[in-house]
Amino acid sequence: MSTTSSTAPITGAPAQPARSLTGQDYKTLSLAALGGALEFYDFIIFVFFATVIGQLFFPPSVPDWLRQLQTFGIFAAGYLARPLGGIIMAHFGDLLGRKKMFTLSILLMSVPTLLMGLMPTYQTIGLLAPMLLLVLRILQGAAVGGEVPGAWVFVSEHVPERHVGYACGTLTCGLTAGILLGSLVATGINSVFTPAELADWGWRVPFLIGGVFGIASMYLRRWLHETPVFAELQKRKALAAEMPLKSVVRDHRGAVVVSMLLTWMLSAGIVVVILMTPTFLQKLYGFDARTALIANSVATLCLTFGCVISGALADRIGARRTLFFGGLLLAASAYALYTTVQTRPDLLVPLYALAGFLVGTIGAVPFVLVNAFPAQVRFSGLSFSYNLSYAIFGGLTPMVVTLMLKNDPLAPAHYVVAICALGMVTALFVKDRPRG
């Protein structure tokens, strides 16, 4: 099992002179990262209100553990829907252009988010409430399935080859900043509203804000331009001659396997350490919602820095070493977090901050993914690998960890350690360009 050189030139692209990042490059990175942050906020805000959503959208007679499992199940449905949306948008992204699909994904995200903030609860319409919530979550998943891979491809094809890692890390920083934004909004709402007000109507506010964010994202992306790589392929009539996904499955199986396994490590870090831990801190360790969310905000802020640093390290020392040692340190920090906070609650913020920073190792993953496939099928190859892996592994992670918790109080730590070990082994199959 092997993948193409993680620092290989972009196949099918015009030869790029060795140059530094320009003002236009930084503008493109900034707009893409900011737009990604606003859209990713829409996708993940659900999980920060999982407890109150579970209480409002399921029968009160359901046991608490089952209600939590069902709520995380609806959250997971967004991940399960990602491959279909990603495959469709990637197909047209490889044939019609990166920018068009990069913009379409925003509309598919913002409308369902707005509707979530307006929909009635179980008390009003009964079982139709969780069913409608599931449908809207599926639409969100289809949108983000095209957004994340499209964003990585978009920025990587705009910058010089030697800065692809930094560009991918910066874009990933933007996406994770959307999580931070969600955490800050959730912290603010839990601080301003009483539990009664939150259950009555306060939970709707973050979803309504998300609808506004979607409109802002659509406006921002009007200022972006098609990537030079795609424009050159179009000019030379060198676009994929057959269905891009067919070529990916037939000719790039090794790259698909490596990409999927590295995405599994990425999903474990984001879903367990960042998205689920605030709920665990409340349910397992007795922290109040405000304390848990403040700690999560600090951890997510550290995550954004970690993404940029790991992306830049991939440019300098290679993705193999960055992912191997980053995975090792992430496993150690996650284990330390979950085994310490119950007896030393005063260490919650520093331990969570360290774990969050090391989750930033994932900033090197897209660097491998964008270079694993030639330009003609890059969007499709990356989208298929990333979204299929996230659907299977990221989507099922909340339910798997929740079920593990019934018999293992350290289930989150054990899950993250195991997947980091898998990611470290996979990193050994990433071939870096010889240095010097």
Q: What is the pLDDT of residues 303-328, one digit of tens each?
A: 999 999 999 999 999 999 999 999 99
- Model pLDDT, residue 213: 79
pLDDT class for 332, splitting at 50, 70, 90? Answer: very high
- 8 falls within a domain: no
Distance CA 331, CA 12 (A): 38
In a domain, 347, yes or no: yes
The verdict on residue 18 lying in a domain is: no
Q: What is the mean pLDDT of the chain?
A: 83
Give the whole-angstrom CA distance, residue 63 versus residue 206: 27
Asked if residue 2 is part of any domain, the answer here is no
Among 51-60, 117-126, 412-421, where is mean pLDDT lowest?
Answer: 51-60
The per-residue DSSP string of 202-253 comes to GGGHHHHHHHHHHHHHHHHGGG----HHHHHHHHTT-S-SS-HHHHHHHH-H
Number of alpha carbons in the 13 Å side-chain half-sphere of residue 386: 31
Do residues 278 and 296 lie in contact, with contact meaning Cβ atoms separated by under 8 Å? yes
Rounded average pLDDT over 271-280: 89
Q: Establish if 433 belongs to a structural domain.
A: no
- 61 compared with 102, residue with greater pLDDT: 61
Per-residue burial over 281-319, b = 16 or more CB atoms within 10 Å of its CB, e = otherwise: bbbbbebebebbbbbbbbbbbbbbbbbbbbbbbbbeebb
230: pLDDT confidence band, cut at 50, 70 and 90?
A: low
CATH of the domain at 318: 1.20.1250.20
At residue 252 the predicted structure's pLDDT band, cuts being 50, 70 and 90, is: confident
Please report whether residue 257 resides in a domain. yes
Instruction: Give the rounded percent of residues in the chain with a pLDDT score beyond 90.
Output: 28
The residue with tokens 């085994």 is 339
In the block, which residue shows the tokens 């599926």? 138
Residue 402 has pLDDT above 80, yes or no: yes
Does 189 score more than 60 pLDDT? yes
pLDDT-derived band of residue 419, with 50, 70 and 90 as boundaries? Answer: very high
Please check whether residue 1 lies inside any domain of the structure: no
Residue 347: what are its φ and ψ, rounded to 5°?
Answer: -95, 5
Type of residue found at 201: W
Judge whether 265 lies within some domain: yes
pTM: 0.78
Could you list the residue range(s) of the whole structural domain that residue 299 is in?
Answer: 27-427
User: Which tokens hold the place of 343?
Assistant: 């007896």
State whether residue 306 is helix, strand or coil. Answer: helix
**Nearest of 299, 300, 324 to residue 310 by alpha carbon:** 324
Greatest C-alpha distance within the chain: 67
Q: For residue 341, which of 401, 273, 399 has the smallest C-alpha distance?
A: 273
CA 284/CA 348 separation, integer angstroms: 14
Q: How many domains does the chain have?
A: 1
Distance CA 34, CA 221 (A): 10
